[in-house]
Structure 1
Amino acid sequence: MRNEDIIEINKNYWNGHADLWFGTTALPKYGVCFPTEDDLNLFGDVSGAKMLEICCGSGHSLLYNAARGAGELWGIDLSQKQLDNASKLLDENGYRAKLICAKMEEDIDIPKQYFDFVYSIYGIGWTTDLQGTLDRIASYLKKDGIFIFSWHHPLHYCIAWSCDERKDVFEDDKFVMTKSYFDESYFTMPVHDSEIVLRNRKMSTYINALAKAGFFIEQFIEASDTGAADAADVSDKRVRKAGMLPISFCIKARKM
């Protein structure tokens, strides 16, 4: 499947289903069953900071940073519907952001060596060109600027609960490998009445791409916070899984 086709499939999904994800997986949350920004304090003081969010979605992370005193807010997203929701949310709360509908993989009219922070909450993993995307992000940042992103931990898609087919029940605390950790090929996943296309990259793929783009990794976090899980958002089965392996990961890197 061509990269252009993958992007179009995912774009159509988000344009059609943006409202179903309104406000989910946004700061201060980094992911499911994962420590929050309130716990980690990765951003620190953002007063007056110029900030760019990649895959800004419904705008809730932009709103979070606006409320903490960020000086300038920018966001890009593949989905115009997501940006419409973000614009409305920010406007209702008295804030403004420069919102751009664009692919993160392409050259965008964004100032270079301008931002103090670039960040992405569960967005970077959608890219069809990881190295190119990270190279562009590095170009947006000032020297010593910070890039923070979270995504699915690759083990999450490789390991599933063991199921006793005779009883059609999941066996407590037993898992099976359902795919190779080393398999980075694209796969199609049905979601709601549609589908998305994803790629499960190894941790080394992210780390090496960051290094090649000129980043120094300050923190790499793979943790679970099952105590903070909201039962309305996740099933007990997923919370129990998070107690045994990381569901998400987060990286804080500095542009050298």
Structure 2
Amino acid sequence: MITPSPDPRDVADVGYRDVPDDEGGSAARPWWDAHAAEYLDEHGAFLGDAGFRWGPEGLTEDEAHLLGDVAGARVLEVGAGAAHCSRWLATRGASVVATDVSAGMLDGAARLADATGVAVPLVQADARALPFADASFDVVFTSFGVVPFVPDATRVHAEAARVLRPGGRWVFSVTHPLRWAFPDDPTLRGLTAHRSYFDRRPYVETDPAGHVVYAEYHRTVGDHVRDVVAAGLRLRDVVEPEWPAWNDQVWGGWGPERGAYLPGTAVFVTTRD
């Protein structure tokens, strides 16, 4: 999971189970609105130090070049959070628009733009229904945004394909699917599988009234591949960052102990032919 610890005052039950798609799919906006400040306080320095990280391992776009040459390119970030990645791209000559479903996260992006002096256009939008014209971007990407938080990720891929120009790239990072079979424990205790990799029930948190307040969805590697192919995209690469020796931070279920043995992040690189 990629969440901070749930507030026990808000959460009465957690676990893996099926919930109605409308409940699970609508939980992300209020959850991130409520937890944006906490999330940025906890992880903002790590995210901002290098400007564009693909996951908790710390792999940067400057190292990986998964988006290609962005100078002069029109780029869209979906699930941008506080738009750390978008601001970094703007300093590299890209024309960037950052979107997120959460007003709380976009407020954080605006504050950081004021603090850093680097601003990009911010749009509150659901990545499953983007307010942009067909074939209007050269690159669309998200770093741990959107895809894990909706039951219908096929709509996200379809929208990315729709707004991409021919030859454009859609790149997204998610929790490595293998990690879902293991407990959310960054220590060596987290190396024992405790549930089936093929159990696709989402991780769900509910409030005392039984309402879904958080939902995160698991897809296997094959599921992700089939989803992007169904959107008319061509899979070019799957990057599985190794845990680097310099990174001693613990972030949820990620950390150097378990990171030495198990992948924690998968980055899918696709293009629209």
Contact 2:135 2:164 (8 Å CA) reproduced:
yes
Contact 2:52 2:84 (8 Å CA) reproduced:
no
- Tell me the SS of whatever aligns to 1:253: strand
Q: 2:202 aligns with which of 186, 194, 209?
A: 186
Question: What is aligned with 2:87?
Answer: 63
- Tell me the SS of whatever aligns to 2:196: coil
Q: What does 1:169-248 align with in structure 2 at a 5 Å threshold?
A: 172=188, 175-189=191-205, 196-231=214-249, 233-234=250-251, 238-248=255-265
| Partner Cα separation in structure 1 for residue 37 and residue 31 of structure 2 | 11
Contact 2:130 2:159 (8 Å CA) reproduced:
no
Which whole-Å deviations, capped at 9, do the CAs of 1:173-205 have from their partners, x for residues lacking one?
783221111111122158xxx952111110111
Contact 1:161 1:176 (8 Å CA) reproduced:
no
Equivalent position amino acid for 2:164 in 1: L
Question: What TM-score comes out, normalization by structure 2 length?
Answer: 0.80
Contact 2:190 2:258 (8 Å CA) reproduced:
no
Question: What is aligned with 2:11?
Answer: none
- Tell me the SS of whatever aligns to 1:224: coil
| Alpha carbons of structure 1 residues 237 and 30: separation in structure 2 relative to 1, 3 Å | closer
| Alpha carbons of structure 1 residues 16 and 44: separation in structure 2 relative to 1, 3 Å | same
Contact 1:189 1:198 (8 Å CA) reproduced:
no
Which whole-Å deviations, capped at 9, do the CAs of 1:25-78 have from their partners, x for residues lacking one?
5752111225322321212321111110110101111111111111x2212211
| Alpha carbons of structure 1 residues 174 and 104: separation in structure 2 relative to 1, 3 Å | closer
Q: What does 1:69-218 align with in structure 2 at a 5 Å threshold?
A: 69-70=93-94, 72-105=95-128, 107-123=129-145, 124-160=147-183, 172=188, 175-189=191-205, 196-218=214-236
Which whole-Å deviations, capped at 9, do the CAs of 1:99-137 have from their partners, x for residues lacking one?
2222222x3321210101100000122222111110111
Contact 1:161 1:175 (8 Å CA) reproduced:
no
User: For structure 1, which runs of at least 5 residues remain unmatched after alignment?
Assistant: 163-169
Q: How many residues align?
A: 242
- Tell me the SS of whatever aligns to 1:227: coil
User: Which stretch shifts more, 127-136 or 30-39?
Assistant: 30-39
Question: What is aligned with 1:44?
Answer: 68
User: Which stretch shifts more, 173-182 or 135-144?
Assistant: 173-182
**In proportion to residue count, which structure has more strand?**
1
| Partner Cα separation in structure 2 for residue 198 and residue 241 of structure 1 | 21
Shift of 1:82: 0.7
| Alpha carbons of structure 1 residues 34 and 180: separation in structure 2 relative to 1, 3 Å | farther
Contact 1:222 1:246 (8 Å CA) reproduced:
yes
Residue 11 in structure 1 maps to residue 29 in structure 2: yes
Shift of 1:237: 7.9
Contact 2:77 2:86 (8 Å CA) reproduced:
yes
Contact 2:182 2:195 (8 Å CA) reproduced:
yes
| Partner Cα separation in structure 2 for residue 48 and residue 113 of structure 1 | 16
Question: What is aligned with 1:165?
Answer: none
| Alpha carbons of structure 1 residues 173 and 101: separation in structure 2 relative to 1, 3 Å | closer
| Partner Cα separation in structure 2 for residue 128 and residue 8 of structure 1 | 10
Question: What is aligned with 1:28?
Answer: 52
Q: Which has the higher contact order (CA 8 A, sep 6+)?
A: 2
